[in-house]
Chain A
Amino acid sequence: KAGVTQTPRYLIKTRGQQVTLSCSPISGHRSVSWYQQTPGQGLQFLFEYFSETQRNKGNFPGRFSGRQFSNSRSEMNVSTLELGDSALYLCASSPLAGGREQFFGPGTRLTVL
């Protein structure tokens, strides 16, 4: 069974631009979560989607948004990029709602210049 895939793997943007990252979960997994990893803040929860609905969101500004499609694939968008948005963005999927093991993709490394 294929793992969680994320595209692109690397991205360089400039301040003020916007970016869209994509995540395809493990086949059959319906819950997709996004996390941001930075040297200063560590790994932080961004949001979680299940059945095309955002069920939870972390403490991030409204510039961070996401969505989930009917095939469970998910995208996250960051608008008006800031230097501090440079980070590794990790996507995770789990098979069912509630209390299930999460499996992570390889991540997208975003650099904002």
Chain B
Amino acid sequence: GIQVEQSPPDLILQEGANSTLRCNFSDSVNNLQWFHQNPWGQLINLFYIPSGTKQNGRLSATTVATERYSLLYISSSQTTDSGVYFCAVLLLQGGSEKLVFGKGMKLTVNP
């Protein structure tokens, strides 16, 4: 099956620093989503991005589908950005759809 790899697995930053999270996937995908998991476990949608670049405030994402990777940029990080970030690729199988997740990246932003 398809492999989704995220790097780095852990990242510690000082408040105000910038960071780049990378997601590589091993095969063609129909779409890609980035999530932030809050401390209570809920997955919060950040981006739904099959290709190109999107921006939302201090966050932006770029997916290069032909090269099978996506990047999530966090600028001017804040302590509230701490948590686990997941990349997930959407696969269509005979009309059904499912997300295949990476293992996540734990971000800690220190004040």
A contact set with B: CB distance below 8 Å: 31, 33, 35, 37, 42-45, 48, 50, 55-56, 58, 88, 90, 92, 94, 97-107, 109
A58 closest partner in B (C-beta):
B98
A-B contact pairs, 26 of them (CB 8 A): A31-B97, A33-B98, A35-B99, A37-B41, A42-B102, A44-B101, A45-B98, A45-B100, A48-B96, A48-B97, A48-B98, A50-B96, A55-B96, A56-B94, A56-B97, A97-B97, A98-B92, A98-B97, A100-B97, A101-B33, A103-B45, A106-B40, A106-B42, A107-B40, A107-B41, A107-B42
Query: With A43-B86, A56-B93, A99-B92 in contact, is A104–B43 under 8 Å at CB?
Result: yes
Tell me whether chain B's interface is mostly helix, strand or loop, or mixed: strand
Count contacts between A and B, CB distance < 8 Å.
Answer: 72
- Other-chain residue from B40, B45, B93, B103 in contact with A101 (beta carbon distance below 8 A): B45
